[in-house]
Amino acid sequence: MRYRSVDRSDFTPNFDGRMGDEVFDIGWAEGVLQDKRPYRMECWGFAGSTGVTVFMASEELEHADAAQVHALLEASGVITTLEPQQLSVLHFVDAAGTPCLSISYIVANEDDEYYVEAHPLLTSYRPGSGDGVR
């Protein structure tokens, strides 16, 4: 089966996190999960924490819960759990009209407590800042 890629062309990154109370965007990565489904991971910061959101087409996952989506990401080597956290799946339609889902993780908090490892190497949103953000 050929899954569609998530179209994030309507997304505009926010670089400044105005007054420390708004999400600011760090970088992104794309890859393919073990079921051959393309994904896009976006890394962001908020109030001293760092997180990632993973987006993918929801075809054949329309009724999947967060545990099932998380299991697919772990089995595909995208995410490794260090500490459990409450997760939820959000369904949406992307800019191309594809039914999609997303799941978000806190990677680390302001006290340098780590909850997951996100394995893809990120590309920075900021022009000229170089690739390989970690």
pLDDT tens sequence across 75-108: 999 999 999 999 999 999 999 999 999 999 999 9
pLDDT per position as a tens digit, 35-48? 999 999 999 998 88
What pLDDT is attached to residue 134? 43
Of 78, 124, 123, give the one whose Cα is nearest residue 103: 78
- Decide if 92 contacts 101 (C-beta within 8 A): yes
- Decide if 122 contacts 87 (C-beta within 8 A): no
β-bridge mates for residue 124, sequence order? 27
Q: What is the residue extent of each domain of the chain?
A: 24-122
Rounded mean pLDDT, 55-65: 97
- Coil, strand or helix: which one is 89? strand
User: 16: pLDDT confidence band, cut at 50, 70 and 90?
Assistant: confident
What does the CA dihedral 79, 15, 108, 95 come to, rounded to 10 degrees? Answer: -30
Q: Which of 4-18, 20-34, 99-113, 118-132 has the lowest mean pLDDT?
A: 118-132
What pLDDT is attached to residue 133? 46
User: 127: pLDDT confidence band, cut at 50, 70 and 90?
Assistant: low
In residues, how long is the chain?
134
Angle in degrees, CA 29, 34, 38, rounded to 5: 40
